[in-house]
C-alpha cells in the first residue's frame, strides 16, 4: 500500500509540516510506502497542459496511492490557492473512491470548520472517501515546533483511521461515480 502526503502550503515547512511528518511516521510504521508532494517546492502552472516533470510526478504520486493525507493551513477561512491549483491538475479518477484524511493548522480554533467544509466540497466533487473527522491544530498544540502529546495522539488516530479505511475499501466501490466523472 502507498499513501501520498500532500503538504498543501506555499510557505516553507514549519508546524504544519511537523504535524504531517508525525502522521507519516505512524503510517510508515505499518510498512506502508510513503510519497510526499510538497507544494512549497513546486511551481505549478494554472493550465494542466503546461505541467513540467515535477508537477507530473506529483500528480502521479497521488494517482498511484491507495490513500491521501492532506496538510493545509487556514488561509482566508479556507485552504490556500496552491492546494486548489493542485486539485485542478488532478484527473477526477485520481481521487475517486480513494480515502482522504487531512490535518489543518490555524491561528485559533475559531476557523476550524473553514478548511474542513471547503475540502469536503472539493473531495465530494472527485468522489473521494473523506474521513468523517479531521485534525485541527493551533499554535497551542505544539511544543518546540513539534506536536504536543494531545496533538500527537490525534494525529496517530487520524493515521490509523486512514490506513484502516484504505484497507477496508480496497477493491470496493463506495457508490455511483461522482457527477464530475460521468461523461
Q: How confident is the model at residue 171 (pLDDT cuts 50, 70, 90)?
A: confident
| pLDDT over 80 at 29, yes or no | yes
Q: Domain map of the chain by residue range?
A: 2-181
Torsion angle defined by CA atoms of residues 148, 151, 154 and 159, in that order, rounded to the nearest 10 degrees: -80
Q: Which fold has domain 2-181?
A: Rossmann fold (3.40.50)
Indicate whether this model's pTM tops 0.85: yes
Q: Considering the chain, what is the average pLDDT of its residues?
A: 93
Per-residue pLDDT tens digits for 91-148: 999 999 999 999 999 988 888 788 999 999 999 999 999 999 999 999 999 999 999 9
Q: Which residues contact 134 (CB under 8 A, 6 or more apart)?
A: 101, 102, 103, 104, 116, 119, 158
Q: Note the pLDDT of residue 174.
A: 73
Amino acid at each position: 500500500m502507498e499513501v501520498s502526503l500532500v503538504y498543501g502550503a506555499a510557505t516553507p515547512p514549519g508546524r504544519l509540516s511537523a504535524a504531517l511528518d508525525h502522521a507519516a511516521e505512524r503510517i510508515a510504521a505499518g510498512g506502508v510506502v510513503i510519497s510526499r508532494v510538497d507544494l512549497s517546492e513546486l511551481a505549478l502552472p494554472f493550465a494542466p497542459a503546461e505541467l513540467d516533470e515535477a508537477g507530473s510526478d506529483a500528480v502521479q504520486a497521488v494517482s498511484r496511492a491507495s490513500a491521501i493525507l492532506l496538510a493545509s493551513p487556514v488561509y482566508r477561512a479556507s485552504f490556500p490557492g496552491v492546494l486548489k491549483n493542485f486539485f485542478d491538475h488532478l484527473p477526477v479518477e485520481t481521487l475517486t473512491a480513494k480515502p482522504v484524511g487531512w490535518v489543518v493548522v490555524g491561528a485559533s480554533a475559531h476557523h476550524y470548520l473553514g478548511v474542513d467544509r471547503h475540502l469536503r466540497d472539493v473531495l465530494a466533487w472527485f468522489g473521494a472517501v473523506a474521513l468523517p473527522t479531521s485534525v485541527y491544530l493551533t499554535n497551542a498544540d505544539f511544543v518546540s515546533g513539534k506536536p504536543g502529546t494531545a496533538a500527537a495522539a490525534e494525529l496517530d488516530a487520524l493515521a490509523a483511521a486512514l490506513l484502516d479505511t484504505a484497507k477496508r475499501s480496497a477493491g470496493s466501490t463506495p457508490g455511483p461515480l461522482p457527477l464530475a466523472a460521468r461523461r
